[in-house]
């Protein structure tokens, strides 16, 4: 039985209430810090010295935490409230045999509030104005804040990511704010920790292109290598990941001020592609003029290549590595997988692609669905009423598959009519806030939502199992969405043809749509790809 127990439901409701309360406490503190900024000449001078305008300071909610040990006592009359400790605003020092001491975590620091993707306050970053250490200080891990999952500035950068077409990942809050001031509002930053896969996943829900910016020194290279490891599993053929290494004497802010926006744009456009950085990382320290060095390269390359998802990029890199070690593709694969009886590049054919026929559908996990009008079912499953329903069912059963989709895919699903678009939008919010969750947790979260009945009906009679293969579910979902895109392109082609009667330039739009649909159809179902469009006369 997958239903949550009354105790589980009560705990989940209590957790949501606690998170909401902590968000409110942190927001109240942020407003107090903003008010304090206006009265601190030193803090205002610091921000002005970095070239920040009042408009940018307001957009990011910048503030100042005074020097006193108990400044927040004037903001929160009950300074002993456990919520102040739980939110990370106050430190409780309990030494054996002594009275517990409470004091503000942030003192004499300019403050950068951290918000989640919904705009809720979840923590702070603070930069000291004096000589105290550490120079930068973040909120601790709390029920609402996790450094490994959150990105500073993402809430503020959402619209800019789509407008500029890429996300620029920097190393600090001041970089983000300064870049916004200089015309690059698409910057975000990790929070004092190495880039994680969850960081990359979160960014790829808003854009298909990510540029990591690092210092050109050895520390910057090490940080870039960690970002590479995090990005590799998500580097599908429709995504772009690049690495930008600035001169050692510059950060993005100083580079733009000295060389200008256009020079920085050129630097970004010439950033190192993931494929090149991967090869450079694998061949680092290898003498390719010797057999030993080439063997070393082969050994270095395997764990990196393994992280890549199946696709054209992975196949091309296999060929490049094979050329570097002077072996054929097959010989290199035999070195990497000596006991394998099947070539890795053939494994993706183990699943059967979806059929457009309504009479039979081969689903992931071996489920076969019959004609929609039929009452037949297998393993308690029934055929969803549409491709959209089946995509929703896949995501509810295996939410992790949502992370494999492009920004275009997310837009397509979330803009569908109700109830589908509403459900996909809700799932996306859940992913932003909590990461992938099992159906039992999603079911609890649906309580009271307008889409609750639709989701429950969709999953009724559907057997959930622990044997779900996320990779196969991703493949299944990819084919479903491709078919949705094909149908959408057909509609847009017809509209372009109608428009072409009065606007000849619409023919160009038609050809672009037609060519894209043709490529997509061929990739989705090459054996049956055919032209079914209306031809302009």
Q: Are 469 and 365 in contact (CB under 8 A)?
A: yes
- Count helices and strands (H / E) in the chain: 21, 13
Question: How does DSSP classify residue 349?
Answer: G
Which tens digits make up the pLDDT trace of 432-490? 777 788 887 888 888 888 888 888 888 876 655 444 467 777 888 888 888 888 888 88
Tokens 């000596």 locate to 338
Judge whether residue 124 has pLDDT over 90.
Answer: yes
pLDDT of residue 229: 93
Q: What is the pLDDT of residue 479?
A: 84
Between helix 470-500 and helix 407-414 the angle, nearest 10°, is 70
Q: What is the mean pLDDT of residues 159-188?
A: 94
- In this structure, are 178 and 66 located in the same domain? no
9 in any annotated domain: no
What pLDDT is attached to residue 528? 46
Q: 271-318, pLDDT tens digit by residue?
A: 999 999 999 999 999 999 999 999 999 999 999 999 998 889 999 999
Q: Are residues 442 and 373 in the same domain?
A: yes
133 in Cβ contact with 77 (< 8 Å): no
- pLDDT tens by residue, 410-437: 888 888 888 888 898 899 888 877 778 8
Co-location of 301 and 394 in the same domain: no
Share of the chain above pLDDT 90, in %: 47
172 and 274 in a single domain? The answer is: yes
Q: What is the pLDDT of residue 462?
A: 60
**Do residues 425 and 453 share a domain?**
yes
Query: Per-residue pLDDT averaged across 215-223, rounded?
Result: 85
CATH number at residue 237: 3.40.1360.10
Residue 352: which pLDDT band, with cuts at 50, 70 and 90? very low
Q: Does the pTM of the predicted model rise above 0.85? A: no
Tell me the CB-side half-sphere exposure of residue 84, using CA atoms within 13 A: 22
Mean pLDDT along residues 183-207: 91
Half-sphere exposure of 254 (CA within 13 A, CB side): 7
pLDDT band at 497 (very low <50, low <70, confident <90, very high): confident
CB burial class (10 A; 0-12, 13-18, 19+) of residue 302? middle
In a domain, 99, yes or no: yes
Higher pLDDT residue, 102 or 532? Answer: 102
Domain count, the chain: 5
Note whether residue 534 is domain-resident: no
The CA distance from 165 to 83, in Å, is: 40
Q: Can you tell me which residue has the tokens 């592609």?
A: 273
* Domain assignment present for 318: yes
CA-to-CA distance for 113 and 118, rounded, in angstroms? 14
Asked if residue 232 lies in contact with residue 189, where contact means CB atoms within 8 angstroms, the answer is no
Partner residues linked to 145 by β-bridges: 142
Between 62 and 453, the more confident residue is 62
Per-residue pLDDT for 387 more than 90? no
Nearest-angstrom CA–CA distance, 286 and 295: 9
What is the residue range of 519's domain? Answer: 475-524
C-alpha dihedral (283, 286, 292, 294), degrees to nearest 10? 30
Domain membership of residue 148 (yes or no) is: no
């Amino acid at each position: 039985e997958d239903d949550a127990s009354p105790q589980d439901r009560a705990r989940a409701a209590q957790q949501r209430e606690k998170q909401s309360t902590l968000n409110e406490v942190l927001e109240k503190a942020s407003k107090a810090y903003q008010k304090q900024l206006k009265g601190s000449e030193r803090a205002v001078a610091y921000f002005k010295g970095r070239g920040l305008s009042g408009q940018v300071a307001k957009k990011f909610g910048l503030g100042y935490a005074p020097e006193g040990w108990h400044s927040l006592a004037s903001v929160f009359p009950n300074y002993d409230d456990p919520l102040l400790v739980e939110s990370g605003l106050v430190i409780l020092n309990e030494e054996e045999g002594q009275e517990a001491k409470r004091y503000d975590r942030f003192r004499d620091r300019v403050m950068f509030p951290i918000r989640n993707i919904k705009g809720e306050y979840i923590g702070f970053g603070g930069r000291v104005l004096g000589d105290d250490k550490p120079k930068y200080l973040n909120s601790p891990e709390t029920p609402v804040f996790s450094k490994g999952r959150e990105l500073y500035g993402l809430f503020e950068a959402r619209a800019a990511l789509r407008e500029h077409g890429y996300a620029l990942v920097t190393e600090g809050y001041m970089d983000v704010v300064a870049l916004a001031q200089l015309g690059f509002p698409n910057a975000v930053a990790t929070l004092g920790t190495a880039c994680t896969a969850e960081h990359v996943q979160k960014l790829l829900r808003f854009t298909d292109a990510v540029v990591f910016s690092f210092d050109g020194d050895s520390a910057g290279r090490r940080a870039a290598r960690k970002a590479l490891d995090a990005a590799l599993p998500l580097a599908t053929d429709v995504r772009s990941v690049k690495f930008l290494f600035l001169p050692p004497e510059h950060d993005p802010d100083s580079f733009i001020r000295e060389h200008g926006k256009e020079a920085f744009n050129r630097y970004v456009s010439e950033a190192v592609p993931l494929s090149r950085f991967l090869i450079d990382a694998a061949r680092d320290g290898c003498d390719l003029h010797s057999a030993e060095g080439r063997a070393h390269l082969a050994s270095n390359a395997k764990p990196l290549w393994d992280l890549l998802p199946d696709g054209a990029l992975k196949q091309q890199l296999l060929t490049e590595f094979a050329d570097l070690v002077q072996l054929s593709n097959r010989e290199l694969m035999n070195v990497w997988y000596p006991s394998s009886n099947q070539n890795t590049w053939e494994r993706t054919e183990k699943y059967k692609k979806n059929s457009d026929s309504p009479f039979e559908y081969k689903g992931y996990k071996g489920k076969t669905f019959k004609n929609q009008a039929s009452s037949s079912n297998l393993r308690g499953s029934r055929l969803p009423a549409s491709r959209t329903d089946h995509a929703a069912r896949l995501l509810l059963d295996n939410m992790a598959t949502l992370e494999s989709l492009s920004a275009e895919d997310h837009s397509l699903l979330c803009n569908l009519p109700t109830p589908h678009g509403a459900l996909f939008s809700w799932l996306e919010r859940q992913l932003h806030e909590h990461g992938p969750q099992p159906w039992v947790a999603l079911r609890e979260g649906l309580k009271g939502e307008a889409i609750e009945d639709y989701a429950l009906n969709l999953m009724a009679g559907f057997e959930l199992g622990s044997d779900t293969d996320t990779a196969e579910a991703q493949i299944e979902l990819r084919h479903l969405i491709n078919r949705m895109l094909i149908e959408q392109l057909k509609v847009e082609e017809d509209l372009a043809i109608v428009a072409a009667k009065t606007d000849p330039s619409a023919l160009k739009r038609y050809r672009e749509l037609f060519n894209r649909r043709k490529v997509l159809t061929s990739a989705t179902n090459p054996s049956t790809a055919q032209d079914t469009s209306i031809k302009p006369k």
